[in-house]
Each structure stands twice: as C-alpha cells, then as structure tokens.
Amino acid sequence: MTGPAYTPRVIALLGAGVAYFVVAGMSFPVLPRLVEDELAGSKTDIGLAFGFFALGMLAVRPIAGVVSDRIGRRPLMIGGALGVAAFQLLHVPAADTGRLWVLLLVRVGAGGFSSLMYLAQATTATELPSEEHRAKVFSTFSVAVFVGFAIGPILGESVLQAYGFGWTFAVASLCATVSGLVALTLPETKPDEVRPAEGFRELFHPVAARIGVVNLLIFIAFMGFNAFIQPYSEEFGIEEARWLLLTYAGTTLVLRVAGGWVLDRFDRRNLATFAHLTVAGGAFLLATADDASQLYVGAFVIAIGMAWNVPLLMLIAVDSATDLDRSKVVATVTTFGDLANSAGALMLGVVADAVDYEGMYLVVAGAALLAVLLMRSGFMAPVAGLRRAPQPAESLG
C-alpha cells in the first residue's frame, strides 16, 4: 500500500509555485501598460519587454541545471525567489528613466532569477513524490502555474487601477518573497549520486531536446496569447483584459484539476495531437475574431490545448531518461520554452507591427500545426517516454 500523493511537503511546494506564478500572471496585463503609458512603446517594444525576461531565463537555465546538481534544489528556490522580489521593485524606477533599455535590463535580471527558482521547483516536483505518484504530483504542480495565472491578472489589474504602478510591483515583490519563505520549509531532494555536468555537451539531454523543440513551438502560442491579448482586446473595446486572461487560466486550471488522470490513461502521442490541434484552432479563432465574444471563445479553445502541453511533454521527457538525468531533462525542455518566450515574443511583436495582431495569430496557429507534424513523425523515434503504455483505469486508483 502506497502513501498519500499530497503530503504536507508536496502541498508546500505547490504553494510556493502558486505564489511565484501570481507574479508572472500580474505582468500580463500590467507590463504592456507600463511600456505603452510610461515609455510610449510600440507592439515591438511590448514584445521586447516580455522577450528580454525570457532571454534572462534562457541565459541562466543551462547554468541553473549545473548549480542545482551541485548545491541542491532548495537554495535555488529560496535565492531565486528573493532575486525575483528585488527586481520587481526596480520596474517602475527603470520606466521612470524614460529609456526602454533600462527596463529591458531589469527584465533580464528578473528572468535570470526566475529561471533559478522555476527549474528548482519543477525538478523538486519530479523528485519529492514517490514514483507511482510522480505523474499526478507533477500534473498538479503544473496546475499551480495556472492558479497563479488566474489570480495574477486580476490582482495586478485591480491594484494598478486603484494605486498605480508602484504599488502593483510592490505586491508582486511580496508574492515572490512569500514563495521563498515557503521554500524554506521544503527538504532537499537532490539524489546523492547525481554528478553535475562537466562540459557544455553535458548541459543538455539529446532526447529531451526533441521534446524541447515541440515545447518551443507551443510556447510561441503561450506568449502570443498572454503577452499580446491585452493590447489586442482594446481594439474590440475590452478595457479589462484580466477577464480574458482569467478565461484562459481558469479553463486550463479546471481541466488539469479534473483530469490529471488523463496523462496516464490515454496514449501520449494522440493526446499531444489533440492538444496541439486545439491550440492551433484557438489561435485561428483569435486571428479571425470580429467581435469581443469571439476573443473569449478563442481564449477558451486555446486553453483546452495548453492545459495538457507542459505536464505531458515534461513527463514524456522525464520518462525517456534515467533518474540521474532528471535535472538535465527539465533544464533542456524548459530552455526551449525560454527560447520561445524570448525570440518568439520579439518575433511576434515584429509580426504584429507588420501585419497587425490578426496576422500574428495566424503565425501562432502555424507553429502549433508544425508541432503536430513533429510529434507524429520519425523525429520522435528516440523518445521512449512517448511510447509508454496507458495504464488501465483500475490501476489509477
């Protein structure tokens, strides 16, 4: 008889994740307004603000994997959270200089510390539970992302409207600090026999990189929605984008909470195909929207597909490697997500400036369709985790 999946320590880890992702969620409606109102920025500038954050994550992610294997997961969770908290407080002073490049430097720093914290949290989520509960706990950890994304936009837009940018980023700093304080209660989960990478070639897991390419394509859709839906929705007379963001986050949250068993019950290749086709369909609805209601439908549909992407791809990657490579696998897959969030966000901003948001969302749909083709092609032949047999219903408890 196995123990419970949701021990007090697992619940604490989930709480730390929620606190951090509230910070990320707050940025979606607030950061575009900071760029537009304080810096008179363009669509490209909004893409730069989000992209440079991910650039900081991308630069630090490979190093974070090595540091995590050398000193442990817990110090990175705590130190990363405190770094994120400090950089939140620098956003408004940076914007007050009137120079975009100063704000971009702050975004790079915030992204770097976020990379440390998220890698440590995600790796701990695969190590803290027992093997039989790993899929369930990691799926629930991914739910924490969307709890934060559901709370964050409402909190951020509400504080901004009532008190302005200064207080908004102060609240974001407080949330990051709470994440670090909760991490103090967690144990160290790094296996004693883990050997840190000694060279550049050892930083990345070659099989996980194939999953990472698909993750990159789908994260382009993630950024296309979350980074640009606020200014796009204004064209339809929507003044409060938090409700669109809540539709997206709430749908994803409900699906993951209600259907975590799906990841073990259904064929992984077919589930990925369904998820990525749905993302493409949601992006197409956004591209062809002719009124505000269609934006909400598009948000709902794209969220259905995104609900399964992160936990599914991460579990496929983790199940394709040994336990000792787990930190390397997590770092590899998430690095490709960071690449999408940095270069992808910048690319989408440039596309939106050139062909407006409608054309940009068609590009997003095309990226999701390419992900479908890759998942069903010989490109995935070495990925053993993709071929894991579904468990019968009676074994899922």
Residue 193, in any domain of the structure:
no
φ/ψ bin of 72: left (φ > 0), alpha (ψ from -120 to 50), beta (otherwise): left
Predicted confidence (pLDDT) per residue in 277-296, tens digit: 999 999 999 999 999 999 99
pLDDT of 272 strictly over 70: yes
Q: What is the mean pLDDT of the chain?
A: 85
Specify whether the CB–CB gap between 305 and 279 falls below 8 A: yes
pLDDT at 24 over 80: yes
> What is the extent of the structural domain holding 28?
8-188+202-389
Please state the rounded mean pLDDT for residues 327-348: 78
> Per residue in 371-384, pLDDT tens?
999 999 999 888 87
Residue 394 belongs to some domain of the structure: no
- What tokens does 88 get? 């939140």
Highest mean pLDDT among 128-137, 304-313, 331-340: 304-313
**Does residue 51 sit within a domain?**
yes
Lowest mean pLDDT among 59-68, 198-207, 309-318, 334-343: 198-207
- The answer, yes or no, to whether residue 168 has pLDDT greater than 50, is yes
Q: Find, among 140, 141, 166, 171, the residue nearest to 153 by Cα.
A: 171
More confident residue, 260 or 274: 274
User: 22 and 175 in contact (C-beta within 8 Å)?
Assistant: yes
Q: Is residue 396 part of a domain?
A: no
User: What's the rounded Cα separation, in Å, for the pair 47 and 352?
Assistant: 9
Residue 194 lies in a domain: no
The answer to whether position 290 is within a domain reads yes
Cα separation, 32 vs 210, in Å, equals 32
Q: Is residue 167 part of a domain?
A: yes
Domain count, the chain: 1
Which residues make Cβ contacts (< 8 Å) with residue 384, sequence separation at least 6?
A: 207, 319, 320
Using a 10 angstrom Cβ sphere, with 0-12 exposed, 13-18 middle and 19 or more buried, the burial of residue 277 is middle
Whether residue 362 contacts residue 241, with contact meaning beta carbons closer than 8 Å, is answered with: no
pLDDT of residue 150: 80
Instruction: Write the pLDDT tens digit of every residue in 186-215.
Output: 988 887 766 665 555 556 677 888 998 998
Cα 372 to Cα 213, 244, 275, 309, distances in angstroms: 12, 26, 9, 12
Type of residue found at 38: E
CATH code at 171?
Answer: 1.20.1250.20
This prediction has a pTM of 0.72
- Give a three-class secondary structure readout of 258-316: HCCCHHHHCCHHHHHHHHHHHHHHHHHHHHCCCCHHHHHHHHHHHHHHHHHHHHHHHHH
pLDDT at residue 173, as a whole number: 97
Task: Count Cα neighbours of 328 within 13 Å in the Cβ-side half-sphere.
Answer: 23
pLDDT: which is higher, 35 or 139? 35
Angle between helices 100-127 and 43-71 (to 10 degrees): 40
pLDDT at position 396 is: 42
- Give the residue-averaged pLDDT of 314-336: 77
Residue 196 domain-assigned (yes or no) = no
What is the 8-class DSSP label of residue 128? Answer: S
Percent pLDDT > 90 in the chain is 40
